[in-house]
Amino acid sequence: MSVQVQLGGNEFVDCANIVEVRGEQLLRVAARPLRVTLTTPAGWDEARAVRVVENGLTAGGPDARVLKSEHSVVLLLRGVPVVTAMADPSNMGEIHLRVDLRPLGIQLFDDASGLHVGSNLHTGNRVSNAATAISLG
Q: What is the pLDDT of residue 27?
A: 97
Q: Where are the domains of the chain?
A: 4-136
CA distance 21 to 88: 28
CA distance 128 to 81: 27
Q: What is the pLDDT of residue 60?
A: 84
CA distance 105 to 50: 12
pLDDT (tens digit per residue) in 40-64? 988 888 888 899 999 999 988 788 9
C-beta atoms surrounding 8 within 10 Å: 22
What counts of helices (H) and strands (E) characterise the chain? 0, 16
Report the share of the chain in percent with pLDDT over 70: 100
Average pLDDT over residues 95-101: 97
Reply yes or no on whether the pLDDT at 73 is more than 80.
Answer: yes
